[in-house]
Chain A
Amino acid sequence: MRAAFRMPAGGRIARGETLSFRFDGRIYTGHPGDTLASALLAHGVHLLGRSFKYHRPRGVLAAGSEEPNALVEIDRGGGRRTPNLRATEVALYDGLVARSQNRAPALSFDLGRINDFFAPLLSAGFYYKTFMWPRRAWRMLYEPLIRRAAGLGRAPEAPDPDRYANRFGHCDVLIVGGGPAGLMAALAASAGEARVVLVDEQAACGGSLLDETTATIAGQPAPVWLAETLATLNARATVRLLRCATAFGYYAENFIAIAERVTEHLADPDPGLPRERLWQMRAREVVLATGATERPLVFPGNDRPGVMLAGAARTYLNRYAVRPGRRAVIVTACDSAYQAASDLAAAGVEVALIADLRDTLPAVASDLAARGIRVAAGMTVLGTQGGLRVRSVAVAPARGGASVRLACDLVLMSGGWTPAIHLFSQSRGQVRFAADLGAFIPDRSVQRERSAGACRGLLDLAETLADGARAGAAAARAAGFPVPDLPRPAVAGAITPAGFHLGLCPRAAATRAFVDFQNDVTAKDIARAAQEGFHAIEHVKRYTTTGMATDQGKTSNLNALALVAAATGRAIPEVGLTSFRPPYTPVTFGTLAGLSRGALFDPVRTTPIHPWAEARGAVFEDVGAWRRARYFPRSDEDMHAAIARECRATREALGLLDASTLGKIEVVGPDAAEFLERFYVNALRKLGIGRCRYGLALGENGFVRDDGVIGRLAPDRFHVTTTTGGATATLDRMEDYLQTEWPDLHVWLTSTTEHWAVLAVQGPQARAALAPLITDIDLAPAAFPPMSVRVGHILGVATRLFRVSFTGELGFEINVPADYAGAVWEAVAARVAACGGAVYGTEAMHVLRAEKGYAIIGQETDGTVTPGDLGLDWTIGKGKTDFIGKRALALPDLRRPGRKQLVGLLTTDPALVLEEGAQIIAGPNPSPGSTALGHVTSAYPSATLGRSIALGLVAAGRQRLGARLYAQTPGGVAEVDLVSPVFFDPAGRRIDG
């Protein structure tokens, strides 16, 4: 298909190469350097999308990231489908496949258009006033209808195969925006040694200079000056230019987030490259040179395809060599549109009229009039006509008089320019309203930041360049790098964009006069909202949705403000400004998540024994960050059978558990005993060397936080264990108390969790199994009683051997350095097998300890459980005047009778295993809304006891022992008897082996 609107020469496209692409199934051509929008315009295609609510046909309004209308879906295949991309930003590549959105069946014939007829019904706030009856209808009828109609593109359905990267960066001067101000700032800032980063959202640096054909800078045509400036910057080793990179967020302490699109513009990207990259840049000084955005005029039908911002038309013409139409009418309140008119006329586009809203024509008007272009002052625009493309426009004298319809296929408008203060505002800088611009500009910086050029209201090219140079030099100096002042470059042939108009055009109707194009918000909607009492700008925004579309109101916010001001009789500054939130333009989720996916999302912790367990087919479970072997099924076993076998083997002969995940802390120093005495409830000060004690740690609120075993190795050295999940928190709490409450104590803490692997050898054969492996520790009962620790060697490997039991059996916990753990484990496992034992996992560990009534912190406890609730009052050291949590134990509610206490629960049906979490109730038929007496904390089938067992917390449980209560089951309730939580070997004889 011939690109009929492509000029024969000019532009920044590479004509030597022709690219082919599809839009809604049709094949078109373009060139490298094109965007999807420019390539379609070159073919005369203006209809690119349908609006959100009314499904009105929409074309291209702008030429950059502010575009509200031309949103398309790009499909690269293989799950790489992206909705809602701006055609004005999509770089063309060969084979690109684009589709329009929010239309059915076709873009040119969209049934949703019927909404436009119902526009009066769908006005702002309509939903809030209706769809309420009958009560269920909202959820069942109205909401599904509204939801189907809403939304723009379609979300991808397949997992995204692309990769995203993340980089942290530091620099001395970060410059945002590569237009004239930004480039001058970079030149100035990089004149010394400062590390300078220049970020630009476009594929090519230059900003407005990319559209310049007539201006000269420092005596050179603007394009030549631009090329030389970029060459200079590229040659400086201290300068990094980031293109296709959007600085989207400005956070505290000059922390700037930048999304860089790495491969999006390539037809066939290197698979080694990420699709996008998130830069998190900390800058000493920041220069914001983010430019300005042209504003539309508000008049009926200002949204028809073919109605465009004047500056955008100039961009398409000069940068892409595309005539945006054949016959143009220009309506403007700003001088910059004259430049567009001049360029269009020079390119052979008929300019039927320049209708200026202002009463006085600017000087430039006479130049155009001299070229035979009609120019009229004091005009207004009343509306446009046309179907899928503008056909004519009605203009009239602003102060009254007959309107004239001018045939045209292009209407260009300019309401003036809005400085892009988004990042400045995000940086918490204060803004002020500049009455001469009709816009807000930066006033006072809060961070180490300077705005330069158009983003602070300087729209004149010469001034912009000089301002950039000033800001760049100042930034470098503030960062500590002396740089000279750059000479102010002379500029000729540029028009300064003076003049603006805000709000509705004179005499124009408010109906279908669009303010927010994408969200279909009209001037009438805003006036109505004000009338209905929504005066705060945030209220208007939320009630009408103006400024909340994917363009975040870049072209619409000031017109909306002006309309609210007009409707409420206030000045614009009194109405205020909505806050600018990150991101400046939408940022891909994947870019923000970066490399954090799969295994890198949250690394899994494994023990040195993990490979062995994997090789034996263990089934694993996640416990916090750890992955632990839950059970070791043999080929013919299900989970239940495997666990039963593991438990029986342990009780009857021997079991071996990988307990390496236990938290371990080495507590060392002359005051180590005193410190532990204060930290734990137990009496630890006089713990004998070689002895261990169960340790219970509380929070200052009196509730149980952690437990473990404390072994004393020397007067000043303790080996402390914690729960698997509580290791980090316990160490942190210990550090906190040591450093901040008791700095007088001389104690050093070291996490040894990863240093020591722990092999728990439990069962009647434990001593016999280990004896041949350990030569330098006497394992005899008298020499090595329960709750003691010895240092020696196992298989020649240094070990700390604990005689502790979490099963109620004779047990040892072998601590060996992790590097040797695999070998020691293999040898111990062989001994265990030889003794008729088995390796067991966390599930059997749970069963074995539950049979003994040992509580697990985090399972029996939930953060509001006291030692007394667990029946662990005996652990509290007698006569201790203080320890963490002691004072709180005396609070009224912690001493209240009727607190929930740990008990054993036996179902009357021994085969029934309760579900953990089931509530305990007094009667079999609880009335709805009744309260529970407690709940089941643990429940297992016990192979040892030949029946199910459970632990639970029950109100005044210890007084109720022997009572019959009820527990919920999936099917109803079950009878349970309250018993002691110690189901097995209550006398505790087995621990002696």
Chain B
Amino acid sequence: MLLIPCPYCGPRPEIEFSYGGEAHLARPRDPAACDDAAWGDFLYARTNPKGIHAERWRHAHGCGRFFNALRHTVSDQFLITYRIGAPRPEIAA
């Protein structure tokens, strides 16, 4: 069970959270302007890196808030968590 540092509540066990998938996939401002390929990629294409992953979590059974995290997908260690809307922090692997 992961230990997830909620930026609002502090470290809490994984079972209090729900996973929200890859972060920084902003919904296009004007979906109608996307062609089918662009829309398909927005919906489905994922980086799925073996390494540092920017991802969304929600402290569903806590404060209820979404936040972003950088986590290493091999060690499962959280490197940093940050607010939704903030740019991805620069962190070396």
Measuring CB to CB, which residues of chain A are less than 8 angstroms from any residue of chain B?
Answer: 251-253, 255, 280, 282, 428, 446, 700-701, 732, 735-736, 739-741, 743, 881-882, 886-888, 890-892
Query: Is A736 a contact partner of B66 (Cβ separation < 8 A)?
Result: yes
A741 contacts which chain B residues (CB < 8 A)?
A: 26-27
Q: Does B79 contact A (CB under 8 A)?
A: no
Query: Is A739 a contact partner of B32 (Cβ separation < 8 A)?
Result: no
Query: Is B18 a contact partner of A732 (Cβ separation < 8 A)?
Result: yes
Closest to B84 in A: A740
Given contacts A735-B58, A739-B65, contact A280 B1 (CB under 8 A): yes
Query: Is A701 a contact partner of B43 (Cβ separation < 8 A)?
Result: yes
B65 contacts which chain A residues (CB < 8 A)?
A: 739
Q: Does B75 contact A (CB under 8 A)?
A: yes
28 intermolecular pairs with C-beta atoms under 8 Å apart: A252-B1, A252-B75, A252-B76, A253-B1, A253-B2, A282-B13, A428-B75, A446-B75, A701-B43, A735-B58, A735-B64, A736-B58, A739-B58, A739-B65, A740-B20, A740-B85, A741-B26, A741-B27, A743-B85, A882-B31, A886-B31, A886-B32, A887-B34, A888-B43, A890-B36, A891-B36, A891-B39, A892-B36
Once bound together, how far apart are the Cα atoms of A407 and B1, in whole Å? 56
B64 contacts which chain A residues (CB < 8 A)?
A: 735
Query: Is A887 a contact partner of B31 (Cβ separation < 8 A)?
Result: yes
A282 contacts which chain B residues (CB < 8 A)?
A: 3, 13
Closest to B85 in A: A743
Chain B residues with a Cβ closer than 8 Å to the other chain, count:
27
B58 contacts which chain A residues (CB < 8 A)?
A: 732, 735-736, 739
**Of residues 20 to 61 in B, which have CB atoms within 8 Å of A's CB atoms?**
20, 26-27, 30-32, 34, 36, 39-40, 43, 56, 58, 60
Say whether chain A's binding surface is mostly helix, strand, loop, or mixed. mixed
Q: Which 9 A-B pairs have the closest CB atoms?
A: A887-B31, A253-B3, A739-B66, A252-B76, A741-B27, A740-B84, A887-B39, A740-B66, A255-B1
Closest to B2 in A: A252
B77 contacts which chain A residues (CB < 8 A)?
A: 252-253
Given contacts A282-B3, A732-B18, A887-B34, contact A700 B43 (CB under 8 A): yes
A890 contacts which chain B residues (CB < 8 A)?
A: 32, 36
Once bound together, how far apart are the Cα atoms of A743 and B67, in whole Å? 12
Measuring CB to CB, which residues of chain B are less than 8 angstroms from any residue of chain A?
Answer: 1-3, 13, 18, 20, 26-27, 30-32, 34, 36, 39-40, 43, 56, 58, 60, 64-66, 75-77, 84-85
How near does chain B come to A170, taking the closest CB pair, in angstroms? 10
Once bound together, how far apart are the Cα atoms of A252 and B3, in whole Å? 8
A888 contacts which chain B residues (CB < 8 A)?
A: 39, 43
Once bound together, how far apart are the Cα atoms of A732 and B66, in whole Å? 11
B76 contacts which chain A residues (CB < 8 A)?
A: 252
Given contacts A251-B1, A252-B1, A887-B31, contact A743 B20 (CB under 8 A): no
Closest to A883 in B: B31
B26 contacts which chain A residues (CB < 8 A)?
A: 741
Once bound together, how far apart are the Cα atoms of A890 and B30, in whole Å? 14
How near does chain A come to B89, taking the closest CB pair, in angstroms? 17
How near does chain B come to A488, taking the closest CB pair, in angstroms? 35
Query: Is B39 a contact partner of A735 (Cβ separation < 8 A)?
Result: no
Once bound together, how far apart are the Cα atoms of A890 and B60, in whole Å? 33
Query: Is A887 a contact partner of B32 (Cβ separation < 8 A)?
Result: yes
Query: Is A739 a contact partner of B39 (Cβ separation < 8 A)?
Result: no
Given A739-B84, A882-B30, output 15 extra A-B contacts at Cβ < 8 Å: A252-B2, A252-B77, A253-B77, A282-B3, A735-B58, A736-B66, A739-B65, A740-B85, A886-B31, A887-B34, A888-B39, A888-B43, A890-B32, A891-B39, A892-B36
Once bound together, how far apart are the Cα atoms of A743 and B83, in whole Å? 12
B1 contacts which chain A residues (CB < 8 A)?
A: 251-253, 255, 280
How near does chain A come to B57, taking the closest CB pair, in angstroms? 11
Closest to B20 in A: A736
How near does chain A come to B54, taking the closest CB pair, in angstroms? 13
Which of A253, A255, A743: most chain B CB closer than 10 A?
A: A253
How near does chain A come to B8, taking the closest CB pair, in angstroms? 12
B30 contacts which chain A residues (CB < 8 A)?
A: 882
Once bound together, how far apart are the Cα atoms of A886 and B58, in whole Å? 26
How near does chain A come to B33, taking the closest CB pair, in angstroms? 9
Once bound together, how far apart are the Cα atoms of A735 and B39, in whole Å? 22
How near does chain B come to A82, taking the closest CB pair, in angstroms? 28
B60 contacts which chain A residues (CB < 8 A)?
A: 732
A886 contacts which chain B residues (CB < 8 A)?
A: 31-32
B39 contacts which chain A residues (CB < 8 A)?
A: 887-888, 891
A255 contacts which chain B residues (CB < 8 A)?
A: 1, 3
Once bound together, how far apart are the Cα atoms of A887 and B2, in whole Å? 37
Closest to B26 in A: A741
Once bound together, how far apart are the Cα atoms of A252 and B76, in whole Å? 7
Once bound together, how far apart are the Cα atoms of A15 and B58, in whole Å? 60
A892 contacts which chain B residues (CB < 8 A)?
A: 36
Closest to B67 in A: A739
A881 contacts which chain B residues (CB < 8 A)?
A: 32
B2 contacts which chain A residues (CB < 8 A)?
A: 252-253
Once bound together, how far apart are the Cα atoms of A785 and B67, in whole Å? 44
A739 contacts which chain B residues (CB < 8 A)?
A: 58, 65-66, 84
How near does chain A come to B69, taking the closest CB pair, in angstroms? 13
Once bound together, how far apart are the Cα atoms of A740 and B32, in whole Å? 20
A701 contacts which chain B residues (CB < 8 A)?
A: 43
Query: Is B34 a contact partner of A735 (Cβ separation < 8 A)?
Result: no
How near does chain B come to A650, taking the closest CB pair, in angstroms? 39
Once bound together, how far apart are the Cα atoms of A743 and B1, in whole Å? 30
A446 contacts which chain B residues (CB < 8 A)?
A: 75
Once bound together, how far apart are the Cα atoms of A701 and B30, in whole Å? 16
A253 contacts which chain B residues (CB < 8 A)?
A: 1-3, 77
Once bound together, how far apart are the Cα atoms of A740 and B66, in whole Å? 7
B36 contacts which chain A residues (CB < 8 A)?
A: 890-892
How near does chain B come to A248, taking the closest CB pair, in angstroms? 15
Once bound together, how far apart are the Cα atoms of A851 and B76, in whole Å? 53
A891 contacts which chain B residues (CB < 8 A)?
A: 36, 39-40
Once bound together, how far apart are the Cα atoms of A336 and B56, in whole Å? 55
Closest to B60 in A: A732
How near does chain B come to A619, taking the closest CB pair, in angstroms? 34
Once bound together, how far apart are the Cα atoms of A892 and B56, in whole Å? 31
How near does chain B come to A222, taking the closest CB pair, in angstroms? 39
Once bound together, how far apart are the Cα atoms of A734 and B82, in whole Å? 21
How near does chain A come to B58, taking the closest CB pair, in angstroms? 7
Once bound together, how far apart are the Cα atoms of A253 and B76, in whole Å? 9
How near does chain B come to A361, taking the closest CB pair, in angstroms? 48
A252 contacts which chain B residues (CB < 8 A)?
A: 1-3, 75-77
Once bound together, how far apart are the Cα atoms of A953 and B32, in whole Å? 29
A735 contacts which chain B residues (CB < 8 A)?
A: 58, 64, 66
Once bound together, how far apart are the Cα atoms of A886 and B85, in whole Å? 24
